[in-house]
Amino acid sequence: MDPIQYQLPNGMSVILQQDHTAPVVAVQVWVNVGSADETAAQAGLAHVHEHMLFKGTERRAVGEIAAEVEGAGGQINAWTSYDQTVYHIVIASRYAATALDVLADATLHSTFDGEELSRELEVIQEELKRGEDQPSHVLSDNLFRTAFQSHPYGLPIIGTEESVASFTREDVLNFFNTWYRPDNMTVVVVGDFDLGEMRDLIAASFGDQVNGATARHSRPVEPVQAETRVSVVYQDIEEGHMALAFHVPGLSHSDVPALELLSILLGQGDSSILFEELQRNRQLVTDTYAYLYTPREPGILDVSASFQTQDDPVDPMDVLDATLEQLFRLHHVAVSERDLRRAKVMLQSETVYRRETVQGRANRLGYFHVVAGDIAFEERFFELAAMVTPEELTRVARQYLTPENMTVAFVLPESMRGTLEDDRVVALARQEFQEIAALSQQDALIPDSHGIVIHDFPGGLRVIIQEDQTVPLVAVRAVVSGGLRLETEQTNGINNLVAELLTEGTASRSAQEIAQEIESMAGSISGFSGRNSIGLEMQVLSQEFDAAFELFADCLQNASFPEREVDRIRRELLAELAARADDLAGTAFRQLNRAIFRGHPLQYDVLGTTESINSLALDDIRDYYHETLDPSRMTIAVVGDVRAREVISAVERNLDVVSEGTSEDPDLSSLSVPQRQEIVSNRERQQAHIAMGYLTVPMDHPDRYPLEVLAAILSGQGGRLFVQLRDRQSLAYSVAAFNVQALDAGYFAAYIATSPGKQSEAIESIERELQLMRDELVSRDELERAQRYLVGSRAISMQRSTNRAAFLAFDDAYGIGYDDHYRYDDHILAVTPEEIQRVARQYLSSEHVILSIVRPSSTEGSQEASQEE
């Protein structure tokens, strides 16, 4: 149904769109204020409101907002941008009134308790430190700061340590009273609701609020940039990062459709210009992309790349030179009609994919209303994009992609300090621009009760189909049981390597042809591997299914592993391994895996090691592929807008369905419960990352369900760990609990990132919460909140055809039963407080915990610990 739009008497805008496909509703409140509306002294105040509006109102105490939403099976969160602050809930439609009441209460009646504000400002300081430890965040901050020297888009949305530390309750209240006014807010609701009832609910929730003084948006204008700007930052990192920014108009400008298509052609997809030239052909970079950032006011076209700086390092100037060569060529070499059509299909497909969830549609309605002032803007935008010609792309490239309009930012390892001078960068840009200019002159299938059709071929291949004509998309997933659990120390990483190479060339197609074909159909295709499996996945518009499945089958059974592509992927994996040293949370969990699964293949890293990846010969890779991706052991799940008979016919035409395989799953020895152990790695960063793990049960064990509920009780914004460690003790920005599942065994984990001086307190606090789970029965209300959250989250995720295909394929391949996920709700809702206590006592013993810690070496008061590599 088309959206409707109206205003309440107090000036609040309302946008409603009904969709009865699933019993889900998205409720959002868009506040027309962002960080770009702040003064210098207010830097970060909009973001503080994002945190504080869930911290208590006149009717709800701290923690009750998240608990009430999660207790109804919903998800609540918020985000802050330069132009708006958004508060949003996705929830079962029967609880839509709860969502409206909660968001109205939070956005109109927050109390901003002084003590809560002090604690939350500490949490934001931790968030700031986390950003300082992430090279991508540092790169983005410096790019925007250098590109925007007058306009507030150059200031960090989150603020600075100094500004955040200076905020008082009076500052927060003044900002709130200025901007959080009905005539400066928009309510968006999309999903399963009755229109009349929803109007009444919105009027009751928001209609009584009156306006104060008129809020005014007054922002300085960014002057036209006249010369190349440069920013270089050095950090303790393993990989180099580069970003270029070119000033472009705001969203409503007539050049934006052409610029959007230009960004897609440059850096989106494996057939994009930058991927083909810099990553695949020249192998200068390990990652590259381009995107257009068009907020309300003039934005940027961002072109970014990552590259190796350690073993066989790449010169940053070579990366810049190669990137500029491709950008400036667009001034003189017209884009082909075929490539332009591909970009248009990719752009148009975004609207289709967004329509799959209610929250996706709500996001777009709110965005176009607040930023463009018109919810119909997107439709007109795509009409203009459809008319863009190659000549228009050349025009906008010449107008905006110039050295004078360019900002260059690098984040490089400390070892490269002093090697990159601003003048060299400026001179290179001018030289490349001139050189390019000079060169240019020269049968019935019966479904089950869930609408699922099963077709078993004689050789053992099973195909599972679920028709769904709601959205014109089809998701396909082929799975073979195996993955990491089939690997040894010598072959570690082979599954991931094979999976990466499935789409990098077949007997009849090159990697480039595969990428161009799938993107011309507005689809995606990629290999995957993990602890338990390996396979291939695809999503495509349903009108392209026949051609897409032929491509899918070709990659699945005819992968040729060209030596050039093998070498490139191997190089990229080695670079990824090196770069992951910068991911401190990941490092903590990899240490945890090695200790908790010692003696079992699950101890290894899915990516492998430098030694194992380098030692895998081409013949080893090909042999493993032929032995493992065996149709006799394979399950293929297809979900979406396609007929079961068409799927069966496509499989018969394109796959060897009569293959009789001989490979079997290994008989792996059982794991023994480890004794308490502490493993420490030192990295000179702002935070200590702590992962605590306990060995548990295989994924087919019935105790997985009480363990999942236990994790939900501890996690989430209303969970015990969040409330105790973040809200009350201000120990961290990030704290969570997980129940990790695998075929042979799983583990239960808690994670926190905190200041090094708070490490001991954080560990003690987590262990204290786990001890309470062992000592006391959880309340019925707390249990039911967690159960509703798990069931509601699963329902929300099942909107996507890709997720449904994954559940069907994985559960069947693992021997659990293809329809096991349909019984998930019953299993979760049957868990009792006594079962929660039993599994906590049985598995979460302090005598058997593995403590994995990554922290600065200067941490004081820490226990002496073993170093394990």
Q: β-pairing, 185-191 with 13-18?
A: parallel
HSE-CB of 436 using CA atoms within 13 angstroms: 23
Domain range 4-206, CATH class? alpha beta
Q: Reply yes or no on whether the pLDDT at 809 is more than 50.
A: yes
Task: Output the DSSP codes for 18-34.
Answer: E--SSSEEEEEEEES--
pLDDT at 866 over 80: no
Considering only residues 658 and 560, tell me which one the structure prediction assigns the higher pLDDT: 560
Q: Examine the pLDDT at 443 and tell me if it is beyond 60.
A: no
Q: Which amino acid is at 735?
A: V
Residue 353 binned pLDDT confidence (cut-offs 50, 70, 90) = confident
The H or E element spanning position 82 is none
725-777 tens-digit pLDDT: 998 999 988 899 999 999 889 999 999 999 999 999 999 999 999 999 999 99
Max mean pLDDT range (215-219, 333-337, 682-686): 682-686
pLDDT at 574: 95
> What is the percent of the chain where pLDDT is above 90?
80
Taking residues 178-199, report their average pLDDT. Answer: 96
The three-class DSSP label of residue 363 is: helix
- Band (pLDDT 50/70/90 cuts) for residue 867 is very low
pLDDT digits (tens, 9 = 90+) for 20-31: 999 999 999 999
Q: What is the mean pLDDT of residues 190-201?
A: 96
Q: What are phi and psi of 26, to 5 degrees?
A: -105, 125
The H or E element spanning position 619 is helix 618-628
Q: 229-441: what CATH class?
A: alpha beta
pLDDT of residue 442: 55
- Provide the mean pLDDT of the chain: 92
What would the pLDDT profile of 91-120 be if each residue is shown by its tens digit? 999 999 999 999 999 999 999 999 999 999
Whole-number pLDDT of residue 663: 54
**pLDDT value of residue 658:** 62
Q: What are the structural domain ranges in the chain?
A: 4-206, 229-441, 452-654, 677-855
Within this chain, domains 4-206 and 229-441 share the same CATH topology: yes
326-330: long-range pairs with CB below 8 Å, 24+: 326/266, 326/273, 326/274, 326/277, 326/278, 327/244, 327/266, 327/303, 327/397, 327/401, 328/401, 328/432, 328/433, 328/436, 328/437, 329/436, 329/440, 330/262, 330/266, 330/393, 330/394, 330/397, 330/401
Evaluate if residue 661 carries a pLDDT over 60. no
Supply the CATH classification number for the domain 452-654: 3.30.830.10
Amino acid 408: pLDDT: 97
The DSSP line for 703-770 is THHHHHHHHHHHSSTTSHHIIIIIIIT--EEEEEEEEE--SS--EEEEEEEE-GGGHHHHHHHHHHHH
Does the 677-855 domain belong in CATH 3.30.830.10?
Answer: yes
Residues 6 or more apart from 731 whose CB is under 8 A from it?
A: 725, 752, 754, 758, 761, 762, 765
What's the sign of the alpha-carbon dihedral 458, 464, 467, 471?
negative
- Residue whose structure tokens are 């009134």: 97
Query: In 3-state terms, what secondary structure has residue 635?
Result: strand
- Partnered with residue 247 across adjacent β-strands are 300
Phi, psi of 778 (to 5 degrees): -70, 155
How do residues 38-89 score in pLDDT, each as one tens digit? 988 899 999 999 999 999 999 999 889 999 999 999 999 999 999 999 999 9
- For the segment 663-676, what is each residue's pLDDT rounded down to a tens digit? 555 556 567 888 99
Phi, psi for residue 409 in degrees, rounded to 5: -125, 135
Query: In which element (H, E) is residue 274 found?
Result: helix 273-274
Q: Are 814 and 665 in contact (CB under 8 A)?
A: no
Residue 707 CA to residue 691 CA, distance in Å, equals 17
pLDDT computed for residue 456 by the predictor: 87
What's the predicted TM-score (pTM) here?
A: 0.84
Q: What is the largest CA-CA distance in the chain?
A: 81
Please name the residues in contact with 486: beta carbons below 8 A apart, sequence gap of 6 or more.
495, 601, 628, 666
* Beta strands at 299-308 and 287-293: parallel, antiparallel or unpaired: antiparallel
Q: With H, G, I as helix, E, B as strand and everything else as coil, classify residue 403.
A: helix
